Structure 1
Amino acid sequence: MVANAHSALVELSGVHRRFRTGKVLVHALYDISLRVQPGEILAICGPSGHGKTTLASLIGLLDPPSEGSLWFDGLATESLAEGARRQLRTEKIGLVFQHCTLVPVLSAQENVMLPRLLNGKRPDDAGELAAELLARLGLAAQVRQLPTALDASQRQRVCIARALVTRPALVVADEPTSRLDSGSVRMVMDLFSALQRERGTTFVIATRDQRQLLRAARTLQLSEGRLLGAPADTPRLACRALA
């Protein structure tokens, strides 16, 4: 493992991502270079099909770059074996997917507890934290309900709580509020902002949702697999045309 002397929590340098779909070679990302500082909320915006999910998967260590370098917390991740990548992801990163999956035989609280239990934490500690997160997302009355008793918005908020329960250094969220009404979006973004202040949690959010862009400290545009504009562009200016 090669340490990176820079202070960024995540740094990508000259990153490309290619993959095959059948016989077609797809070049999804081109020469991506960016730095994500500890404790910031970064939004990556752009039209559907232009690489946001691919970039989120790279930053979340789900996929390796095809070319270029990606550092996480000082480590050059492209040289890590899959087991080491998985351990780093489990211990340090919370992931929120647009299409979330819950364990159908577990309650909302048990679904949220699961990652913390798999990390070896005490059940009572996991249960208390899961209940707290669900309450902060407006789900105090649903903690014992199975996923089949929840609507789409409630299931998505359970998935968001699950991504936060391990107290990760980084949360990578791909269109996390696409199924939420304005009130639920406000609760989610209030919680993200609070965790940023309370714990220094870093958030990278791939989104087209203007309601999230207005809360981000920094916004980057992604178009046809390329980052556009200056990294310091403001949320309101950076993504209005593409949202």
Structure 2
Amino acid sequence: MEVLAIIGSPRGKSNTYKAVRLVEKEMKNFGDVNLEYILLNEIDLKTCKGCFNCLRIGEERCPLKDAQIEIEEKMISSDGIIFASPTYVMNVSWLFKNFLDRFAYICHRPRLFNQSALVLTTVGSYGAKTTLEYMANAVTTWGCRSIIKLPLTVPPVGGKEEIVDQDIETLEKTSKQFYNDLVNKDILSPKFSSLVQFRLQKAIFTEAGAKIDFPKDYEYYTTKISSNYYVNANVNPIKNAVAWIVEKFLMRKISS
């Protein structure tokens, strides 16, 4: 299995990188796993300019020419992705935030439906929960079929930087859970929140005005998706019916 690890530490091979290496070691106890590492402090991924081109007219129209396309291709071809960032002031590092910003178009046009995701953060004391919630919410909108969270405490005291003992056990259990997620991939069955996201985006981006304001999204939702979800999936009819009700309610709120 091919797993891509994207490390957002400005320190490169830091506590966060070392933590992912421990995850790799644990996963290899269960089977054949190959990890490829992308260190965001080493790769050419320029700072997002907020020009809106990727959202409106397509990611290929981004004026920044760097490793963006290469990274996306690696994410799509992987079986799973580890998204890892240290916690800085109760959030991700600026490198990881820029990474998310550069792929904002995937929030509009999801495409990582075959990938399981592990979101990992290392933290000195507190703030891991909010960081992982932010990371999980972001990659959920990209279409990842499952999200597993792994917070690890690495206190910067005593001249050592080591994961606390109780978190080592969590790391071992979570690594096994992530491995099992990669192995046991059933037919995609979207969560209720993902169904609401899909129905709401489809409703917004297939309106007449979207053809002008968001032509790339209009094209995506009118020509490139299935009727019940972004891709062929096992859509629960009851969840889908409730999601339809929520969609109608939210669209009325937006229109009023």
The TM-score, its normalising length taken from structure 2, stands at 0.33
The TM-score, its normalising length taken from structure 1, stands at 0.34
Which structure would you say has the larger Rg?
2
More helix, by proportion: 2
More strand, by proportion: 1
Greater RCO, CA 8 A, separation 6+: 1
